Amino acid sequence: MLSIENLQKTYTGPQGRSVLQGLSFQLPAGDYAAIMGESGTGKSTLLNLIAGLDTADGGSIRLDGTDLTRLSEAERTRLRRARMGFIFQAFHLLPHLTVGQNVALPLALNGTPKRHREGRAAAMLDAVGLADRARSYPRELSGGQMQRVAVARALVHEPQLLLADEPTGNLDQDSAAQMLELLRQQVRERGCTAILVTHSRQAAESADRIYQLGATGLQLIGQAA
Ligand SMILES: Nc1ncnc2c1ncn2[C@@H]1O[C@H](COP(=O)(O)OP(=O)(O)OP(=O)(O)O)[C@@H](O)[C@H]1O
């Protein structure tokens, strides 16, 4: 479902360096993969390329057969909004919007009619255990709660692919464990394909498969029993 072939990325400029040198990787639909690796090996670069937020210098990234590297920027944006969800380390909730409005945002960006947005956002908040916080603002929530809102926002539009970049990086151990359990459960329930980038082996263990990104590409280093 996600198929990456010979992906290459070099940053130009004074700090320029070749980061991905012909990376190939297949992720079947519904799989949940964790990607680990030393700092600077290119994990965020890889996620940005898959998300279409940056452009590769060579190779292809196919999502259900559509090669993202051949789309225009506008087409990539449309595909990203329709078919991908994101969770970041720093939550990235919009402070001036309520929790409910934050969760409904991907629906608004996708052009979902207004009358459907509130109900879907409410159902999604219920699924992450925050049904009673729709009218709160992000600043009124704990870090763990904010990341649960981010999970709801990432999944509300039923994306095929979920990309999570260090989602437990700002959470204490208990909140991190709860958030990973929630993520795993939601990904399973929705049959979504997911990639979790993390430095934490414990976090990576929540995925079906664990890969290590290094100079030679992605290597499978662990698999759920
Ligand atoms: N915009 C950029 N311009 C130049 N170099 C960059 C740029 N973005 C990233 N790099 C370099 O590319 C390499 C890979 O960066 P990337 O952020 O993808 O690594 P990472 O594996 O996600 O690291 P970390 O685990 O520390 O988040 C690093 O050496 C980084 O300095």
97-141 confidence digits (pLDDT tens):
999 999 999 999 999 999 999 999 999 999 999 999 999 999 999
* Residue 32 pLDDT greater than 90, yes or no: yes
36 C-beta closer than 6 A to ligand 1: no
Query: Cα–Cα distance between 21 and 13 in angstroms, integer?
Result: 18
* Residue 224 pLDDT greater than 90, yes or no: no
Nearest alpha-carbon partner for 100 in 82, 75, 125: 125
- pTM, to two decimals: 0.94
Query: Cα–Cα distance between 135 and 206 in angstroms, integer?
Result: 31
* Residue 225 pLDDT greater than 80, yes or no: no
Q: How far is CA 107 from CA 39, 61, 90, 163, in A?
A: 34, 25, 21, 17
CA dihedral 70, 25, 38, 176 (to 10 degrees): 90
pLDDT (0 to 100) of residue 92? 94
Q: Please state the atom number of ligand 1 nearest to the C-alpha of residue 42.
A: 18
Burial of 57 (0-12, 13-18, 19+ CB in 10 A): middle
Measure 140 CA to ligand 1 centroid, in angstroms.
Answer: 33
pLDDT (0 to 100) of residue 100? 97
136 C-beta closer than 6 A to ligand 1: no
Measure 40 CA to ligand 1 centroid, in angstroms.
Answer: 5
ipTM: 0.96
Encoded amino acid at 85, one letter? G
* Residue 45 pLDDT greater than 90, yes or no: yes
* Residue 16 pLDDT greater than 80, yes or no: no
pLDDT (0 to 100) of residue 38? 92
Give the mean pLDDT of 10-25: 88
User: pLDDT category, 20, cuts 50, 70, 90?
Assistant: very high
The Cα angle at residue 33 between residues 103 and 83, in degrees rounded to 5? 40
pLDDT (0 to 100) of residue 15? 75
136-170 confidence digits (pLDDT tens):
999 999 999 999 999 999 999 999 999 999 999 99
* Residue 221 pLDDT greater than 80, yes or no: yes
Query: Cα–Cα distance between 125 and 47 in angstroms, integer?
Result: 26
Give the mean pLDDT of 55-78: 95
Query: Cα–Cα distance between 41 and 20 in angstroms, integer?
Result: 8
